[in-house]
């Protein structure tokens, strides 16, 4: 929920120099740059907005105070969300003392907009290499980038320049890092304190993608850690500014590629909220989306469970999990026609109705699946080796959750009740019955238990959705109809969908934490700025802290228990 009128008024009373604004979608506190830190501190400590959600910058292209920065905060107790905004020319004070997660957000904003943060401990780029000289998300940076390097295609290398037609690509590409650039970057990120610096990743089986970790090792003890991101950086936020709302859907598939349906749903709901058509989306579509998202959640957690066990040496669980995962993949393929990058939802509904027999297949799957899950738990949950590797490893307190801006199963593993499905129900989540498992100690073992229990809860949700969908007739609509097609065009292809000016922050509960979309629209076919709040990115930011004085062997345990996906971190 957005912060209520009452809270805003109290803030206004307490801090007289701020301005507050509230509409249906968003509650904003405007403050001057010089007073930003004090305001944030008061809002955090006195008003209980402890959980850091997101921070970034909008390039307004105005002559004065070109950049508008926003900070999104959440109060877990009163379930309120607030946005703090400020304007700046080129520099901002750093909030790293208030929220560590802000440090990473600031690195990203520095990387993308060139904002200088005063008081930031180690201001380096987040995704690009350190010798890169442009700021890609500024509006004056062209979409296709600056051409710099000659990189002939393989055909051209083999056949020379004689290729014609479609075989002959443009040979100049945007700037790519050389080995020297990378070496400079890696030496800039971490200053060696101990004996050797080990490159752990990007091409490594234990890093779950192309993440590049640097471990400063004293024996097997990790003294300091840093992460070099950006191996999968595609500039999704830049692309979003140049795509119609519906077309951007396919990019959300490619962010968290393991839970594409959940990302689809989060984006669609965000746009629907911005349009104000959340209520006219047919019930059937809502139930289908919810059911599919939960299937995807089981699918994603199975991948996590498999790789987690694999990292700890139990290869067999990996194959068991993948076998069940394959069944879900087949179900999803049967319904949507795609397995990985699905794009099933549409603004106003879903792409097509469920095919005949789909509900029966799902029903038989969820009947069998809990038994299978029980078997795996027999192998793992009470296993002494498993306990030894997981108990008291990577402990996160409740305060850590707020300080590092952690969400999803990681937050719930530490006992913080933070589940968007319950706090801010979207689609059919308000209409189904399910529990949110919470951990006690906040160690890797608790996070493991939470995720396993979440799979059971997903089965419960799917069961209810299937029952509900069985009662609906084949002829019920799965796509919303617009009352006034001239003002609002709702079609399957989404062409010509005009969105009124406004801004919204809307999020969905992804398997890897809160996936939020801050959409700023100036009206028209395309958004002006889209900031994606990736769960994995902020969940990963606690990793260097957790790795302090741990063994190399714990690196896999902790990383797998945070469960990041590079596609979502890098975007």
Partner 1 sequence: MAYIGLLSLLAVMLGLSVILISLNWLLGPKKKEPYKTYPYECGVPLYDDTAQTTFHQGYYILGLLLLLFDIEVAYLFPWAVVYNFLGVFGFIEVFLFLVILTLGLVYAWKKEALDWQFDLESL
Partner 2 sequence: MSIVALGIIIAIKVVVILAIILGIGAYLTLVERKVAAHIQRRPGPMVVGWHGLLQPLADGIKLLTKEDILPSSANFLLYNLAIVMALVPASLVFAVVPFGPEIHVFGYDIKPILTDVNIGIIMAFAFGSLAVYGVALSGWASNSKYALIGALRKAGIIISYEVVITFAALGPIMLAKSLSTYDIVMAQIHQKVWYIFLQPISFVVFVFALLAETGRVPFDIQEAEAELVTGFTVEYGGMKFGLFPLVEWYVEVLSLSSILTVLYLGGWSPINIPFVGFVDPFFFLGPWSGFIWFIIKVTILFLLVLWLHWTLPRYRIDQITTIAWKVMLPLALFNILITAFIAPLLRG
Among 33, 79, 221, 460, binds partner 1 (CB under 8 A): 221
The size of the chain, in residues, is: 571
Q: How far is the CB of 212 from partner 1 (least distance, A)?
A: 6
> With respect to partner 1, which residue has the nearer C-beta, 155 or 549?
549
> With respect to partner 2, which residue has the nearer C-beta, 13 or 203?
203
> With respect to partner 1, which residue has the nearer C-beta, 63 or 179?
179
283: exposed, middle or buried (C-beta count within 10 Å: 0-12, 13-18, 19+)? middle
Number of residues that bind partner 1 (CB under 8 A): 27
b/e map 152-164, b = 16+ CB within 10 Å? eeeebeeeeeeee
Give the interface with partner 2 as residue ranges (CB under 8 A): 196, 198, 204-206, 217, 220, 309-316, 319-320, 323, 379-380, 383, 385-386, 388-389, 551-556
Identify which range of 184-192, 319-327, 375-383, 539-547 contacts partner 1 by CB under 8 A.
Answer: 184-192
For residues 196 and 208, give the distance between their C-alpha atoms in angstroms, rounded to a whole number: 23
For residues 240 and 172, give the distance between their C-alpha atoms in angstroms, rounded to a whole number: 24
> With respect to partner 2, which residue has the nearer C-beta, 61 or 315?
315
For residues 162 and 164, give the distance between their C-alpha atoms in angstroms, rounded to a whole number: 6
3-state secondary structure of 389: helix
Cβ atoms of residues 237 and 267 within 8 Å: no
Strand partners, 442: none
Cβ atoms of residues 533 and 507 within 8 Å: yes
Q: How far is the CB of 378 from partner 2 (least distance, A)?
A: 11
Binding mask 185-204 for partner 1 (x = CB under 8 A): -xx----xxxxxxxxxxxxx
| CA 516 from centre of chain | 7
For residues 406 and 443, give the distance between their C-alpha atoms in angstroms, rounded to a whole number: 14
> With respect to partner 2, which residue has the nearer C-beta, 316 or 467?
316
214 touches, from partner 1, partner 2, none (C-beta below 5 to 8 Å by class): partner 1
> With respect to partner 1, which residue has the nearer C-beta, 194 or 466?
194
Query: Which helix (DSSP H) or strand (DSSP E) does residue 6 occupy?
Result: helix 5-14
Identify which range of 60-68, 88-96, 213-221, 452-460 contacts partner 1 by CB under 8 A.
Answer: 213-221
Question: Applying CB under 8 A, does 52 fall inside the site for partner 1?
Answer: no
340 touches, from partner 2, partner 1, none (C-beta below 5 to 8 Å by class): none
Q: What is the largest CA-CA distance in the chain?
A: 73
Question: Applying CB under 8 A, does 227 fall inside the site for partner 1?
Answer: no
Residue 175: count of CB within 10 angstroms of its CB: 17
Q: How far is the CB of 62 from partner 2 (least distance, A)?
A: 50
The contact set with partner 1 (CB under 8 A) reads 179, 182-183, 186-187, 192-204, 212, 214, 217-221, 223, 549
């Amino acid at each position: 929920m957005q912060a209520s009128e009452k809270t805003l008024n109290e803030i206004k009373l307490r801090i007289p120099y701020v301005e507050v604004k509230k509409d249906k979608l968003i509650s904003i506190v405007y403050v001057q740059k010089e007073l930003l830190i004090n305001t944030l501190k008061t809002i955090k400590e006195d008003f209980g907005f402890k959980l850091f959600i997101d921070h970034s910058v909008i390039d307004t292209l105005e002559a004065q105070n070109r950049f508008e920065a926003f900070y999104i905060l959440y109060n877990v107790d009163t379930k309120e969300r607030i946005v703090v905004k400020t304007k700046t020319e080129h520099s901002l004070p750093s909030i790293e003392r208030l929220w560590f997660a802000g440090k990473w957000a600031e690195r990203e904003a520095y990387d993308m907009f060139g904002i200088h943060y005063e008081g930031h401990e180690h201001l380096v780029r987040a995704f690009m290499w350190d010798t890169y000289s442009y700021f890609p998300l500024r509006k004056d940076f062209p979409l296709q980038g600056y051409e710099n390097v000659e990189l002939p295609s393989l055909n051209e290398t083999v056949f020379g320049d004689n290729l014609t037609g479609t075989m002959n690509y443009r040979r100049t590409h945007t700037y790519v890092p050389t080995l020297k650039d990378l070496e400079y970057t890696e030496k800039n990120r971490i200053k060696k304190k101990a004996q050797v610096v080990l490159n752990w990743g990007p091409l490594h089986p234990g890093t779950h993608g192309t993440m590049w970790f640097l471990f400063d090792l004293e024996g097997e003890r990790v003294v300091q850690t840093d992460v070099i991101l950006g191996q999968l950086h595609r500039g999704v936020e830049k692309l979003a500014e140049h795509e119609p709302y519906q077309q951007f859907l396919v990019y959300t598939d490619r962010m968290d590629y393991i839970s594409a349906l959940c990302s689809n749903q989060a984006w669609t709901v965000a746009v629907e909220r911005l349009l104000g058509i959340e209520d006219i989306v047919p019930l059937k579509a809502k139930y289908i989306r919810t059911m599919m998202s939960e299937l995807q959640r089981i699918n994603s957690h199975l991948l996590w469970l498999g790789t987690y066990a694999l990292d700890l040496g139990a290869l067999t669980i990996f194959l068991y999990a993948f076998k069940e995962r394959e069944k879900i993949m087949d179900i999803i393929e049967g319904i949507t026609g795609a397995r990985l990058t699905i794009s099933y939802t549409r603004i106003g509904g879903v792409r097509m109705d469920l095919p005949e027999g789909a509900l029966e297949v799902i029903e038989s799957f969820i009947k069998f699946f809990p038994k299978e899950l029980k078997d795996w738990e027999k192998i793992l949950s009470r296993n002494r080796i498993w306990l030894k590797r997981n108990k008291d490893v990577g402990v996160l307190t409740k305060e850590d959750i707020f300080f590092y801006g952690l969400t999803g199963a990681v937050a719930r593993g530490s006992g913080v009740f933070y589940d968007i499905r319950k706090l801010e129900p979207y689609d059919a989540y308000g209409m189904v019955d399910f529990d949110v498992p919470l951990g006690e100690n906040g160690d890797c073992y608790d996070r493991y238990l939470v995720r396993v229990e979440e799979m059971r809860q997903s089965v419960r949700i799917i069961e209810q959705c299937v029952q509900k969908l069985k009662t609906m007739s084949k002829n019920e609509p799965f796509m919303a109809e617009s009352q006034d097609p001239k003002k609002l065009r709702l079609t399957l292809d989404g062409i010509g969908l005009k969105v009124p000016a406004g801004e919204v922050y809307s999020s969905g509960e992804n398997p890897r934490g809160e996936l939020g979309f801050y959409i700023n629209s100036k009206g028209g076919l395309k958004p002006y700025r889209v900031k994606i709040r990736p769960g994995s990115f902020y969940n990963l930011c606690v990793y260097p802290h957790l790795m302090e004085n741990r063994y190399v062997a714990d690196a896999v345990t902790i990383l797998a228990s945070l469960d990041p996906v590079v596609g979502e971190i890098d975007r």
